[in-house]
């Protein structure tokens, strides 16, 4: 007898046929290693870039309600003040996740008659947030400043330019200096998703705005506490009226439980830790890894801690990832819809936890994999 949900099996069949089927693994993580089915591997798929040691947190109430009801504990205020100063802004506002922060602020400050100009490689949370806003959305070619300039000539009650600081799948930086100039010239609001640059680049890890010396030219920052800082949650930083509007209009802030106080305290302590030592180690590792990867013939375009090895076909990328797995390395194959069809890749995340011995071992295996799969 057929079930009303049997049509889903057809959809799953198509996903498998196209080599984009996903499943979740149950893992254990210890330092630079990840264990899957009792197999210990070097972890090259972690966004915990700095690897800050987990601080000790006193037991506190995990949950009460939304922040507007009874969940707004004092720890939020302490952390939000730090984050605002960190981004050279008036205020900040913490959301349960970075995804929810993007949805919340973009859909709150952008309206139906506005024009949004968005980089074609922006994160899906930005894409979905722009749809929610009801605004006209114009996509500019990735980091193409001429195309961005043309797109800003479009009509709209207000104009917004949205980009990422460090792009999560390509590892390249946005052309923030030029983007900020275009934004000012066209009287556009500049929104920066700095999830992968925050706490990693810039003076004291203040992010890509600081890295390019244009912190004050960013109107709205959106970022994560879950990547460079290694904690959990997301936040925005901007002038006071932006956070006030989000408190009153943002559905992803109003209609959800507050981030548990445990994570807020955790983020506070991580923020106050000696992050610079970890950051220096991270960039030493990036320099060594990138140099060695080029020596063995890989075409490297990234200049950050996110290093993609472009494979092309989805099936080949999965086989490449499987080969690494068998040889003690965990680096996921990234496929459609995260990246376009036939641009599948191995996404390598460098962290401060890697030792020189780890890097030498990884490079040796990647050299063998390059020959085996004939990667140009």
Model confidence pLDDT, tens digit, residues 83-98: 999 999 999 999 999 9
Structure token digits, residue 114: 């506005």
Is the domain of 149 the same as that of 293? no
* Per-residue model confidence (pLDDT) at position 1: 81
Instruction: Tell me: pLDDT of 2 over 90.
Output: no
Is the domain of 251 the same as that of 287? no
Cβ neighbours, 10 Å, residue 271:
19
Is the domain of 37 the same as that of 166? no
* Per-residue model confidence (pLDDT) at position 64: 73
Is the domain of 153 the same as that of 302? no
Is the domain of 119 the same as that of 254? yes
- The sign of the dihedral angle between the CA atoms of 33, 34, 36, 38 is positive
Cα separations in angstroms, 112 against 131, 134, 162, 188, 262 = 10, 5, 16, 16, 38
Out of 210, 241, 272, pick the residue that ends a domain: 272
Is the domain of 257 the same as that of 285? no
Contacts (Cβ under 8 Å, ≥6 apart) of 283: 305
Q: Which tens digits make up the pLDDT trace of 165-192? A: 999 999 999 999 999 999 999 999 999 9
Q: Is residue 29 part of a domain?
A: yes
Is the domain of 119 the same as that of 187? yes
Instruction: Tell me: pLDDT of 63 over 80.
Output: no
Number of structural domains in the chain: 2
Q: Is residue 356 part of a domain?
A: yes
Q: Is residue 68 part of a domain?
A: no
Is the domain of 204 the same as that of 185? yes
CATH number at residue 251: 3.40.640.10
Is the domain of 197 the same as that of 89? yes
Is the domain of 262 the same as that of 291? no
Domain extent for 316: 7-52+275-373
Q: Is residue 66 part of a domain?
A: no
* Per-residue model confidence (pLDDT) at position 131: 96
Q: What is the arithmetic mean of pLDDT over 140-151?
A: 98
Q: Which tens digits make up the pLDDT trace of 260-271? A: 999 999 999 999
* Per-residue model confidence (pLDDT) at position 252: 97
Is the domain of 142 the same as that of 252? yes
Is the domain of 260 the same as that of 303? no
> Measured between alpha carbons, how far is 127 from 135 in angstroms, rounded to an integer?
12
Q: Is residue 244 part of a domain?
A: yes
* Per-residue model confidence (pLDDT) at position 61: 66
The runs of H, that is alpha helices, within the chain are 7-17, 74-86, 98-109, 124-133, 145-151, 176-185, 208-211, 240-249, 251-254, 261-272, 275-295, 314-326, 356-373
Q: Work out the mean pLDDT of the chain and round it to a whole number.
A: 96
Out of 253, 272, 291, pick the residue that ends a domain: 272
Q: Is residue 215 part of a domain?
A: yes
CATH number at residue 327: 3.90.1150.10
Out of 213, 240, 272, pick the residue that ends a domain: 272
* Per-residue model confidence (pLDDT) at position 188: 97
């Amino acid at each position: 007898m057929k079930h009303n949900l049997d049509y889903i099996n057809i959809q799953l069949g198509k996903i498998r046929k196209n080599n984009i089927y996903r499943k979740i693994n149950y893992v254990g993580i210890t330092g630079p290693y990840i264990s899957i089915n009792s197999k210990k591997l070097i972890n090259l798929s972690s966004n915990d870039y700095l690897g800050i040691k987990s601080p000790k947190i006193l037991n506190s109430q995990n949950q009460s309600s939304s922040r507007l009801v009874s969940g707004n504990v004092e720890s939020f205020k302490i952390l939000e003040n730090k984050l605002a100063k960190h981004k050279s802004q008036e205020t900040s506002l913490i959301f349960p996740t970075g995804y929810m922060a993007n949805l919340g602020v973009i859909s709150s400050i952008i309206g139906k008659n506005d024009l949004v100009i968005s980089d074609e490689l922006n994160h899906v949370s930005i894409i979905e947030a722009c749809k929610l806003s009801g605004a006209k959305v114009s996509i500019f070619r990735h980091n193409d400043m001429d195309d961005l300039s043309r797109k800003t000539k479009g009509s709209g009650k207000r104009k917004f330019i949205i980009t990422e600081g460090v792009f999560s799948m390509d590892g390249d930086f946005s052309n923030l200096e030029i983007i900020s100039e275009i934004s000012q010239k066209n009287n556009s609001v500049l929104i920066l998703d700095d999830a992968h640059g925050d706490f990693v680049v810039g003076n004291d890890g203040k992010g890509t705005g600081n890295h390019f010396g244009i912190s004050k030219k960013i109107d709205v920052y959106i970022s994560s506490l879950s990547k460079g800082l290694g904690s959990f949650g997301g936040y925005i930083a901007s002038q006071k009226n932006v956070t006030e509007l989000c408190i009153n209009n943002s559905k992803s802030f109003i209609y959800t439980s507050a981030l548990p106080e445990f994570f807020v305290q955790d983020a506070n302590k991580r923020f106050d830790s000696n992050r610079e030592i970890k950051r220096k180690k991270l960039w030493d590792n990036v320099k060594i890894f990138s140099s060695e990867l080029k020596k063995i013939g890989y075409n490297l375009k990234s200049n950050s801690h996110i290093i993609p090895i472009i494979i092309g076909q989805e099936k080949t990328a999965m086989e490449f990832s499987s080969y690494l797995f068998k040889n003690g390395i965990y680096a996921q194959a990234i496929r459609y819809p995260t990246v376009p069809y036939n641009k599948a890749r191995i996404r390598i995340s460098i962290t401060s936890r890697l030792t020189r011995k780890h890097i030498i071992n990884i490079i040796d295996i990647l050299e063998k994999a390059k020959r085996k799969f004939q990667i140009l």
